[in-house]
Amino acid sequence: MSYMGERYSSSRALIVLVAITVLLPRDAGWFAAYHDLDEVNAYVDGIVARHPEVARVRELGRSVEGRPIRALELTRGAPATIVIDGGMHAREWISVMVATCLADRLADDPLLAQVSFTIVPVVNPDGYAYTWTTDRRWRKTRRDGHGVDLNRNFPIGWGGADSSHDPSSPQYRGAYPLSEPESRALAAAFAGTTRAHLDLHSFSQVIVYPWHHRREPTPDAERFAAAADAMAAALRATHGETYRVRAGSELRVGAGGTVTDWSYAEHGALAFLLELRPARGPDGFELPPEQIAPTCDETLAAVRALAAAIIR
């Protein structure tokens, strides 16, 4: 390439960066529709451009197909961190949008004076991209075409209930614990002092806390229950939606290899699986886009309640 070509390429890159900053203001209108992987990544970059004093993107790893798995880190120096992840199951689009919306709102929230956040909007970028191009109901990663259920791939209770050794199963757990680059990337988000973890999914409007793979309660069961009740009250107070609270050990069918069992066992995090809207329905994975913003509203209230629990 000639010198003139190099100058043109650099100028074009600058124009693209400016365009991202200009075209992606904090705008509720952006959250009136669902967005594909490239659009989500661009919006996250826009958050960093608008809040460089508190926000940065860290690449945690690469997916099976080579896509970056990105975390947005928001901090003013508070040592206690809450990790929030979305998009682990590809078809659960609302979890991606809510994680992105939380990042947008928390970037200038006074809560940052007391708590830092690491937010991973799309843990499973290959699967998420596949739901946009090929199969809207795809759940797993794209490992060898059959995929792995990342929420059965973590070491605590791996190979246990509600997981399968059959690659064709929706709950295929992978060849061994943390076999997948996506699960290892999410594990890398838990650096420093992770005090709490919110794993966003859909659907059924329920808050579930460890253990998932055992029938007995954790030693911190009372603390989990109190924080979950506070989160449920905050969710309900926002738009009147009811979110049930359950201990994973009390569910009819538990689950082995879940990320929240791992983050609690490995890091001592106050860890919750939050199943977002809707409460029920045959098309629950296709929540109408007009419900994105209110779902974010109520989830932000839950995050504030969770932050209050760890600050206390």
Residue 60 has phi, psi (to 5 degrees) of: -85, -25
Summary count for the chain: helices (H), strands (E):
8, 8
Which positions are catalytic?
Answer: 275
CA distance 104 to 116: 14
Kindly report the number of other CB atoms within 10 A of residue 92's CB atom. 26
* Kind and range of the H or E run holding 202: strand 193-202
Sheet bearing 80-85, strands edge to edge: 55-62, 68-74, 116-120, 80-85, 193-202, 270-276, 206-209, 244-247
Kindly report the number of other CB atoms within 10 A of residue 172's CB atom. 22
Whole-Å CA distances, 2 to 5, 10, 14, 15, 58: 5, 12, 19, 20, 33
**In sequence order, what DSSP letters do the residues of 110-159 get, joined into one string?**
GGGGT-EEEEES-S-HHHHHHHHHT-TT--S--GGGT---GGG-SSTTTT
CA distance 60 to 80: 20
Tell me how far the alpha carbon of residue 145 is from its chain's centroid. Answer: 23
Look at strands 206-209 and 116-120 and give their pairing: unpaired
